[in-house]
Chain A
Amino acid sequence: MIEARGLARTFRSRGGPVEAVRGVDLDVAPGELVGFLGPNGAGKTTTLRLLTTLLRPTTGRATVGGCDLLTDPVGVRRQIGYVAQGGGTAYECRVREEIEIQGRFYGLSKADTVRRGAALASRLDIAGLEHRLVRTLSGGQRRRLDIALGLIHAPALVFLDEPTTGLDPQSRANLWEHIRALRAEHGLTVFLTTHYLDEADALCDRVLVIDNGTIVATGTPDELKSRISGDSVSVEVAPGTVPDAAGIAGRLPGAHEVTTGENTIRFRVPRGDTALPELLRALHTHGIDLRSVQVHRPSLNDVFLTLTGRTLRDAEVPGAA
């Protein structure tokens, strides 16, 4: 659905050139739900604007829905929906007017636009607002209108730039469900950016981590988590047996970052669940008395920190960690 090679974009600005995206390779299969994760200024929005024909790449090429970005931008536009990070509804227009022009620009008939608009509005919980001015909508209602506009023409591929920012937990869950349903029923391909780690975790088949304009990791949420830092294991043993136990833990395959406390040992292994039986057996063989064991799967936040040396804005990471 998307195939990008060496996509790069440099902005000229007063303070000198800004290399917002530096050579991104992407492959997204039809029906895939891909998440784009990265800290502020990583280049997520710029990549989306490149892929939606709003910006021309400085170098590199890409095809979206089989159409080349440079030679057939209209072909690309016909197939995609785009919901920008900052939205894009006119305050002085009525909701109904926004829906209508959007649908009709995509070639839908007036009746089809009204029908689809009503279905989306009720699905996204903004039914009954058709006659209101956009100016009078709440932030979350406006966000859901943005999303409805991006989906009005039933595109095969939709780009969502931080779609759930500003939505309450219920609306977020509701939107996730809607996205999953669209994918299941119509094979919709979704490419979304997010700061919410739980969102990437819950929604995405595959996560691309971008930092500083380059993709630094890609995989399923679980793959990323197991590949990067591994699970953290903490073992509590009887005092005096700590050095022995630490030795045993350090000899487990892939164990690293072994640290000890008064009667605890902490370390990381690629897979905590498979390392545990072996650890227990070894401790038992050496006659070490085990008091408790805890295994923590790393969160995407850990992944993030390890990969980029930065964490995501705390305010935007509810329920993570």
Chain B
Amino acid sequence: MPREIWLVFRRHMAVSLRNPAWVIVGLTQPILYLVLFGPLMERIVSSTPGFPQGDAWQILTPGLLVQLSLFGSLFAGFSLLADLTTGVLERLRVTPARRLSLLLGRVLHDTVQLLVQAVILILLAVVIFGLRAPLAGIALCLTMVALIGITLSAASYALALTLRSEETFPAVLTSISTPVLLLTGILVPITTNLAPHWLYTLSRLNPFAHVMEAQRATFRGEYTVDALLTGSVVLVAITALTIWWATTTFHRENA
């Protein structure tokens, strides 16, 4: 099974490496935010009470990492829809390879791709904007980014396979991703001081808001149970849940 996952991973990686433009395309949005919104954020953070601790870049960069994961991994399902139409998926499903390998190999590819982009983004923030974050914190944050990537790409595949339509799939994705993104507080953190009570309460229902908080804590170098526990537990739980969902979807006949 690891061998099968590796084969699937390599197959998709080979395609990605032939078109390295994906690195740039995926990074455009977050880089634009970094350049055109970051400096504004610097002023706001220093003049407005109610922000969590840390400077603007420590707050913004983890947020942009979440944005990167959302836009990168959530649309992974498109490649699966293509394989569905061209019959590639059926061809591989007739081989004795495990269906779970077909899923996990893809997810692994998406996650590695995401991590490469995340590292580039962090480097840019450090080199150009003077982001200060402890190495251990960055490593911890990248681990979380990886888990978010796994969650979202697995969910994307499960959704693509369930909808099986190149029209409804992006429609459903955008209608889910925009509120989730906003309720995560990727640009301006949703805290009790900054947000009205109802908005804060609503954001508590969004698992990514908790993960977001934990990621910001890692950039501040805060490794306390208080700062990390909720986010980590939530993250591991949703990762497990989506993997399970995607697995059952991939095992269904006709998938």
Binding site for B on A (CB under 8 A): 52-56, 74, 77-78, 80, 82, 84, 86-94, 97, 100-102, 104-107, 149
Contact = CB atoms under 8 A, between A and B. Distances in A.
Nearest to A56: B253
B241 interface: no
A263 B87 CA distance: 58
Interface residues of B, number: 24
Given A55-B253, A55-B254, A91 B86 contact: yes
A106 B95 contact: yes
B28 to A, nearest CB: 22
Given A74-B96, A88-B88, A106-B96, 11 more contacts: A54-B94, A54-B254, A86-B86, A88-B86, A94-B14, A97-B11, A101-B7, A101-B8, A105-B92, A105-B96, A149-B91
A73 to B, nearest CB: 9
Contacts, number: 68
B160 to A, nearest CB: 16
A88 B90 contact: yes
5 contacts: A54-B94, A54-B254, A78-B96, A105-B96, A106-B96
Contacts of A102: 91, 95
B88 A77 contact: no
A70 to B, nearest CB: 11
B97 interface: yes
A192 to B, nearest CB: 16
A93 B96 contact: no
B127 interface: no
Interface in B10-33: 11, 14-15, 18-19
B14 A93 contact: yes
B91 A77 contact: no
A75 to B, nearest CB: 9
A68 B29 CA distance: 52
A86 B88 CA distance: 10
B93 interface: yes
Interface in B66-122: 83, 86-97
Contact of B95 (A77, A86, A90): A77
B55 interface: no
B253 A105 contact: no
A21 to B, nearest CB: 15
A93 B7 CA distance: 13
A105 B89 CA distance: 13
Give the one of B3, B18, B89, B96 with max A CB within 10 A.
B96
A90 B94 contact: no
Given A55-B254, A80-B94, A105-B7, A93 B15 contact: yes
Nearest to B252: A56
A266 B114 CA distance: 76
Contacts of B222: none
B96 A82 contact: no
Contacts of B11: 93, 97, 101
Contact of A105 (B15, B88, B95): B95
A92 B11 CA distance: 10
Nearest to A77: B96
A313 to B, nearest CB: 22
B20 to A, nearest CB: 13
Contacts of A86: 86-87
B7 A89 contact: no
Contacts of A84: 87, 90-91
A54 B96 contact: no
Closest 4 CB pairs of A and B: A88-B91, A88-B87, A105-B95, A105-B97
Contacts of B91: 82, 84, 88-89, 102, 149
